[in-house]
Amino acid sequence: MGLGEGGRKRAAVMWYLVGLPSYKNLGEALEDLLTRHLSASRKRQVEVALEEQAPAWLPARTARRSHTPEDLPSAYQQDRLARYQQMIQLHEQGMTQGALAQQIGVSLNTVRRWLVNGCPETTRGPYVSRLDCYLPYIFQRWAQGCHNIAQLFRELEARGYRGSYASVHDNIVRRLQFGGRKTPADTSAKAPPLATPRQAVFFFLRRPEKLRVEEQETLAKLRQLDPEVEQAYDLVQQFTQMLRMRMGALLDAWLTQVQQSNLPELQSFAVGVEKAKDSVRAGLTWWINNGMVEGHVTKLKLIKRQGYGRAGFPLLRKRVLHAV
């Protein structure tokens, strides 16, 4: 049922009360949509950077071998054998194990092991770290995207690792080729963000001809993020054009486009518009609004607040009338 002349004017007044919140709601819906796509874009950039800077794991450490011929003992082997012989001689003389360790310069556990097992081995075995058995798990977690060494250390502790954090950190950094950088996070330069969601909303709602050159370039990049963003820009510009040019007759067609789109944020906004379609259409068509009334209300509130809550209605009335 159509609105009469008086009904349209009343609806236009309602539009000021409904339309401005609707315009604000459009900005909020658009901000949610842009936040979703900007977050996805940043995530893709991080993934690409990590793929480009994928670490190359260095081979495991190998034991350093002596350059002397195999048939001759190395200086290290000769020293250990001499210490062992000196320990046996002093032990036969009745020296205690603690005194033996201090005399020949080895630990007490080494003295006990030599007394029980006999002559020490004259060759060094390959270097074995208590972290070596956890390296496959570290490689797996790193490939899954966990590049936080502190987090890896906590996970290793939960799996039974009893070494230090420094050992885990140094081992991972040593096995990674990052061009001298200490941490994997330093491998890729952090690109400045394209725009914040709130800035992007400003670019989308503003008239294109009023944007500066750099803002137009940023807007063009934003529109290239995803086809959904481009579609949202077209719909938002159509709505703002209806608002500026008072083309309320196009509201139904615009709502149909939004409902047919795959933009849940704008579809939610359209549902709110549908609930007050007559008022919104009148606001998009008629020039009438209650801006002057709202201005007087704002002025009245200012005068009231200047009384700091201590003045009653009689004084407020006098001050209002005196101001007039």
The 10s digit of each residue's pLDDT in 134-146 is 888 888 888 888 8
Q: What pLDDT is recorded for position 257?
A: 95
> For residue 91, what pLDDT band results from cuts at 50, 70 and 90?
confident
DSSP-assigned letter for residue 286: -
Answer positive or negative: Cα dihedral of 266, 272, 273, 274: positive
Q: pLDDT tens for residues 227-262? A: 999 999 999 999 999 988 889 899 999 999 999 999
Q: Mind giving me the DSSP string for 267-280?
A: HHHHHHHHHTHHHH
Q: Say how far apart CA 6 and CA 15 lie, in whole Å.
A: 14
H-only helix segments in 246-312: 251-260, 264-275, 277-285, 291-305
Q: Give 46's pLDDT tier (boundaries 50, 70, 90).
A: low
Separation CA 234–CA 239 (nearest Å): 9
Is the Cβ–Cβ distance between 258 and 8 less than 8 Å? no
- Higher-scoring residue by pLDDT: 76, 147: 147
Q: Where are the domains of the chain?
A: 5-50+224-285, 54-62+128-186, 75-117, 291-323
Compute how many other C-beta atoms are within 10 angstroms of the C-beta atom of residue 155: 16
CA distances from 99 to 88, 117, 164, 317 (A): 13, 19, 31, 102
Secondary structure (DSSP) of 107-176: -HHHHHHHHHH-SPPSSPPPP--TTGGGHHHHHHHHHTT---HHHHHHHHHHTT--S-HHHHHHHHHHHS
Kindly tell me if the per-residue pLDDT of 5 is higher than 50: no
Which residues contact residue 146 at a Cβ distance below 8 angstroms, ignoring those fewer than 6 apart?
Answer: 152
- Helices 251-260 and 277-285: crossing angle in degrees, nearest 10, is 130
CB distance 275 to 263 below 8 Å: no
Q: Is the pLDDT of residue 276 over 90?
A: no
pLDDT of residue 258: 94
Q: What are phi and psi for residue 166, nearest 5 degrees?
A: -60, -35
- Highest mean pLDDT (candidates 102-111, 126-135, 249-258): 249-258
pLDDT bin (cut points 50, 70, 90) of residue 316 is confident
Please report, for residues 133, 163, 164, 165, 184, the alpha-carbon distance to residue 154 in angstroms, rounded to integers and kept in the order given: 16, 11, 11, 9, 18
Q: What is the mean pLDDT of the chain?
A: 77
Q: 78 vs 153, which has greater pLDDT? A: 153
Q: What is the pLDDT of residues 21-34, one digit of tens each?
A: 566 889 999 999 99
Distance of CA 218 to the CA centre of its chain: 21
Statement: residue 103 has pLDDT above 80: no
Measured between alpha carbons, how far is 22 from 236 in angstroms, rounded to an integer? Answer: 13
Q: How far apart are CA 220 and CA 258, in angstroms?
A: 22
Residue 284: CB atoms within 10 A of its CB come to 23
pLDDT at 73: 59
Residue 78 corresponds to which tokens in the numbers above? Answer: 């000769």
pLDDT, mean of residues 281-302: 84
pTM, rounded to two decimals: 0.50
For helices 97-104 and 75-92, angle between their N-to-C axes, nearest 10 degrees:
150
Please answer whether residues 142 and 184 qualify as being in contact, where contact means their C-beta atoms are separated by less than 8 angstroms: no
DSSP readout, 193-210?
A: PS--HHHHHHHHHS-GGG
Secondary structure letter of residue 250 according to DSSP = G
